[in-house]
Structure 1
Amino acid sequence: MNMSYEDCLKACQECLEACNVCFDSCLKEEDVKMMVSCIRLDRECADACSYAIQAMTRNSPFVKEICELCAEICDRCAEECGKHDHDHCQRCAEACRKCAEACRAMVA
């Protein structure tokens, strides 16, 4: 595996974890209704990161497309989480931005 694969795998793993923490924390917020989009995108993003990790580790012939999609989903999740002031949302948005960057660097 080349170095950018390693960086991308690490960023995807960190993003997956941040999304899961955010998802779980959003469910505990006072106004859960306000967090619905955030919760939904946390799930999508965690799944996309998990799939990207699997694609990279098995050297999938679709790794480029999967990582491009992962980056796109990370962008959307970062945008949504960034709208909320909660620490978990802000940390998630940051992890998503880093992951999108790593995925794009890897397929470049």
Structure 2
Amino acid sequence: MAVATVGEANKACLDACAECQQACETCNYNCCANNPDMAECARLCLDCAAICAACVTLLARDSRWVAQLCQLCAEVCEACAAECDKYDLDYCRECAAACRRCAQQCRAMASVSA
């Protein structure tokens, strides 16, 4: 997913955000399609996908706002992972794992860029 012009410092975080965005979109779709009681999970997945997409954009252009956005992204990813952990479903487990990887990469990026 990462473009060759993206610096190596940003690449791991950008890739983790892109993977997380895709996992969250998939989880959201499955939550909505399969169980109306999973509305909070679906909402958190949409929020997480949106902030991951914003991170991808800002990381790709090496924005000066990357550290702050990555810090917030890590928090949203952790909340999404915690919500997905409530359900014993493959797509929720996959989403939670992607969220944790993204949170870890975003925290690392935020600490380097700060």
TM-score interval, smaller chain: over 0.9
**TM-score (norm. length: structure 2):** 0.89
RMSD over aligned Cα atoms: 1.0
List, as ranges, runs of 4+ consecutive aligned residues in structure 1 with deviation greater than 6 Å: none
Shift of 1:27: 1.3
How far does the alpha carbon of each residue in 1:38-65 deviate from its partner, in whole angstroms, 9 at most, with x for none?
0000000000000011111122111100
Verify: 1:51 aligned to 2:51, yes or no. Answer: no
CA distance in structure 1 between the aligned counterparts of 2:15 and 2:89, rounded to whole angstroms: 24
Q: Do structure 1's residue 82 and structure 2's residue 56 form an aligned pair?
A: no
Q: 2:41 corresponds to which letter in structure 1? A: C
- What is the distance in 1 between the residues matched to 2:79 and 2:51? 12
More deviation, 53-62/86-95? 53-62
The range that moved more, 53-62 or 85-94, is 53-62
- Percent identical residues: 42
* Matching residue within 9, 15, 25 for 1:4: 9
- Matched pairs, number: 106
Letter in 2 for 1:84: Y
Residue 103 of structure 2 is aligned to residue 100 of structure 1: yes
Q: Which runs of 5+ in 2 are unaligned?
A: 1-5
Could you tell me which runs of 5 or more consecutive residues in structure 1 were left unpaired when the two chains were aligned: none
SS where residue 48 of structure 2 aligns?
Answer: helix
